[in-house]
Chains A and B, each alone.
Chain A
Amino acid sequence: MKIVDIENLHVSFRHHDGIVKAVRGVSLELIAGKNLGIVGESGSGKSVTFMALMRLLHPSMATIEADVLNLDGNDLLTADNRALSKIRGSSVSMVFQDPMTSFDPLFTIGQQIAETIQTHRSIGKKAALVQARDLLSRVEITNPDQVLKYYPHQLSGGMLQRAMIAMALSCEPEILIADEPTTALDVTVQAQILQLITDIQAETGMSMIMITHDLGVIAETVDRVVVMYGGRVMETGDTIEIFETPLHPYTKALIESIPGRVAGKHKLKEIAGSSPNALAPPSGCPFHPRCHQADEKCVTDLPELQKFEDGRATACWQVNR
């Protein structure tokens, strides 16, 4: 069963210089109970895709069009505000990059987690606090009773992100969407948080989407990947296949440019040029100005995602399988 189903999603923002086409025809799906990684650089449209899915973009700023936009059986294109607030929190929860701005500085961690629980369930405050305590120990916080009484500023970034995950889990969502959950954290803390998220996903059997710019995070956490660039899906496939036999020239170049994979001082393989301008995306394939395999067709025609029998798919004129 598809728990997330997006077909031909377009998102554009009005900007004083014109229209920013952030997402240009993205299709992707997530099977219930599985995990999916979305990897891309800034401006690739990876976060906007899911902000649009969650309907977190205000209609006055963004225009959202899609053939299908389904989440856990709900059609999000037509859902009204009441339906949306029921879906958010109970069906799906999000964890963002910066836990400091996701919590309200004026309330304790306990109050905030309990509030979330009470919003979605009719239970008393005391019972909600007991649940909040259990959630904190679930995310491996060793002193949950104290942390309940702490204000956000009293916790380190890593502890706060754990508390954020606890809050996201509070209503037992069907899907957890984690948007760069470890980017703001120290490297050792990052590894711990990633392990925590994958453990919880495996234990609860919930579905999970991991949005990141870091291929290392992808390799560590998810079984399937969507590679995005310039508001388009470049390639999808199983994580192992993507790393071992990448099909799209962008995916190949991205993997080869990772620093420190071999011993000794060395130059890296780099991708020349810079990411496309969403105000004036290049004609044809968005990657063609930086691609050394590009020919005339790549410059003029936008390649669609072609699906192969083995479950892989890529949008590139140069790939023939």
Chain B
Amino acid sequence: MLAGEPMTPALELRQLTKAFELGSGMKPLFGGQAKKHIAVDGVNISVKPQTVLGLVGESGSGKSTCGLMAMRLLDATEGQILVNGNDITNLSPEKLKPVRKKMQIVFQDSYASLNPMMTLLQIIAEPFVIHNLLTRKERVETVGDLLEKVGLDRSYANRYPHELSGGQRQRVSIARALALKPDILVADEPTSALDVSVKAQVINLLHDLQEEMGLSILFISHELNVIRSLADEIVVMYRGRIVEQAPTETIFQDAQHPYTKSLLSAIPSLNPRERFRRTFMSTDQIAAEIPILARADITFVGAERSGPQLVKFSDDHFVEATIRE
């Protein structure tokens, strides 16, 4: 690749939109209109190769829906999903299968995402079975290696998920996700259900694996603190839209959007000498404090639309702003 040439993102979401139909029932049958909830509204995200992008937002912001659509576990209403530059939005299940080898997901609830009837060997070897890789003997060997890689003993292969603690189960989920040596990992709140002392272990594990394997990670979390220790770049979602995007420390030092600011101010101070009274913003106040920029001064990101719009604030800093004509 030539110097200065833009790198192809490992994972790219273009104008991705998801509308859920609400309480549709019989209405559409009789020509009525079902109500729609737009969970994700024209989102553009690109995860650069071998970097971690932290996607933060509160419940209902659409962050997990983005992760599911990126994995093609949920169909997008509009928009495109590109993996290493290839459009996978409409690939058939057969054509998607080889792509899935390259991208894997880890969920928040390791109890629900590991089959209780299967041993760890069966769970972690399942990707090999699905993709018809390796001999039986090689699978046992590789599963042992994977267990060690995530910090568990090889002898755990014959155990069942219920015999493990929450942190150990999450390690198994990670081992399974890494079995096929993916390029891309989507991690949806992987540490939120874990105890404080174990949370740091799992964050460090992801940190090491990312460096070792050159993974590109879409890290979804509601905890800005966790994201800070892991991510190169942060995207803030609010009510289905991206409201700010910048390198991690820019978000922490120079946030522009009122919602990002309120997320930052909600982080506990961890210094009991410095308790401060916070001012909380209602939805209306957030809307009222969106930055206003003159049309002449801005570069648009994505398609122009009515209402506030994501614009370029500086080289690598994007913020939702109201445009003054």
Main secondary structure of the interface of B (DSSP, over half): helix
Q: Using a Cβ–Cβ cut-off of 8 Å, how many residues does chain A contribute to the interface with B?
A: 41
A219 touches B196 (CB 8 A): no
B267 touches A187 (CB 8 A): yes
B39 an interface residue at 8 Å Cβ cutoff? no
Question: Quick one: which of A223-267 are within 8 Å of B by CB?
Answer: 239-240, 243, 253-254, 257-261, 263-267
Question: Quick one: which of B190-206 are within 8 Å of A by CB?
Answer: 195-201, 203-204
Which residues in B have their C-beta under 8 angstroms from that of A186? 58-59, 222
Question: Quick one: which of B167-205 are within 8 Å of A by CB?
Answer: 167-168, 195-201, 203-204
Smallest CB-CB separation from B273: which chain A residue?
A240
A41 an interface residue at 8 Å Cβ cutoff? yes
Given contacts A41-B195, A187-B263, A270-B204, contact A260 B227 (CB under 8 A): yes
B277 is contacted by which of A195, A240, A275, A290 (Cβ under 8 Å)? Answer: A195
The distance from the CB of B129 to the nearest CB of chain A, in whole angstroms, is: 29
Among B227, B265, B268, B273, chain A packs the most CB atoms within 10 A around the CB of B268
CA distance A259 to B198 in the complex (A): 12
A191 touches B266 (CB 8 A): yes
B93 an interface residue at 8 Å Cβ cutoff? no
A192 an interface residue at 8 Å Cβ cutoff? yes
B148-182 interface bits toward A, Cβ cutoff 8 Å, 1 = contact, 0 = none: 00000000000000000101100000000000000
B280 touches A191 (CB 8 A): yes
Smallest CB-CB separation from B168: which chain A residue?
A274
A267 touches B271 (CB 8 A): no
| Size bracket of the B interface | 35 or more
The distance from the CB of A190 to the nearest CB of chain B, in whole angstroms, is: 7
A154-170 interface bits toward B, Cβ cutoff 8 Å, 1 = contact, 0 = none: 00000000000000000
B272 an interface residue at 8 Å Cβ cutoff? yes
Chain A interface: which of B110-118, B228-236, B300-308, B314-322? Answer: B228-236
A274 is contacted by which of B59, B167, B248 (Cβ under 8 Å)? Answer: B167
B228 touches A188 (CB 8 A): no
Given contacts A187-B222, A215-B196, A275-B197, contact A260 B266 (CB under 8 A): no
A190 touches B168 (CB 8 A): no
CA distance A260 to B56 in the complex (A): 14
CA distance A227 to B224 in the complex (A): 25
B26-69 interface bits toward A, Cβ cutoff 8 Å, 1 = contact, 0 = none: 00000000000000000000000000100000110000000000
A254 touches B196 (CB 8 A): yes
A216 touches B168 (CB 8 A): no
A130 an interface residue at 8 Å Cβ cutoff? no
Given contacts A213-B196, A275-B197, contact A261 B270 (CB under 8 A): yes
CA distance A274 to B196 in the complex (A): 11
B272 is contacted by which of A42, A190, A219, A269 (Cβ under 8 Å)? Answer: A219
B135 an interface residue at 8 Å Cβ cutoff? no
Which residues in A have their C-beta under 8 angstroms from that of B195? 41-42, 213, 275
B270 touches A243 (CB 8 A): yes
B255-286 interface bits toward A, Cβ cutoff 8 Å, 1 = contact, 0 = none: 00000001101111111110101101000000
A257 is contacted by which of B199, B207, B224, B263 (Cβ under 8 Å)? Answer: B199
B299 an interface residue at 8 Å Cβ cutoff? no
Smallest CB-CB separation from B270: which chain A residue?
A219
A219 is contacted by which of B222, B262, B271 (Cβ under 8 Å)? Answer: B271
Question: Quick one: which of A186-235 are within 8 Å of B by CB?
Answer: 186-192, 195, 213-220
A243 touches B271 (CB 8 A): yes
CA distance A229 to B184 in the complex (A): 37
B196 touches A214 (CB 8 A): yes
B280 touches A263 (CB 8 A): no
CA distance A254 to B249 in the complex (A): 24
A106 an interface residue at 8 Å Cβ cutoff? no
CA distance A186 to B266 in the complex (A): 10
Which residues in A have their C-beta under 8 angstroms from that of B58? 186-189
A187 touches B266 (CB 8 A): yes
B225 an interface residue at 8 Å Cβ cutoff? yes
Q: List 7 A-B contacts (CB under 8 A).
A: A188-B266, A214-B196, A216-B268, A257-B196, A259-B229, A260-B227, A265-B229
Interface residues of B (CB under 8 A from A): 52, 58-59, 165, 167-168, 195-201, 203-204, 207-208, 222-232, 248-249, 252, 262-263, 265-273, 275, 277-278, 280
Interface residues of A (CB under 8 A from B): 41-42, 186-192, 195, 213-220, 239-240, 243, 253-254, 257-261, 263-272, 274-275, 290
Which 10 residue pairs spanning A and B have beta carbons closest together?
A216-B268, A260-B225, A260-B228, A257-B200, A271-B197, A270-B200, A186-B58, A41-B195, A268-B200, A191-B266
Query: 18 other contacts beyond A191-B265, A254-B197, A259-B225, with CB at 8 A cut-off?
Result: A41-B195, A186-B222, A191-B266, A214-B196, A216-B269, A216-B270, A219-B268, A243-B272, A254-B196, A257-B196, A260-B228, A265-B232, A267-B208, A268-B203, A268-B229, A269-B200, A271-B201, A275-B197
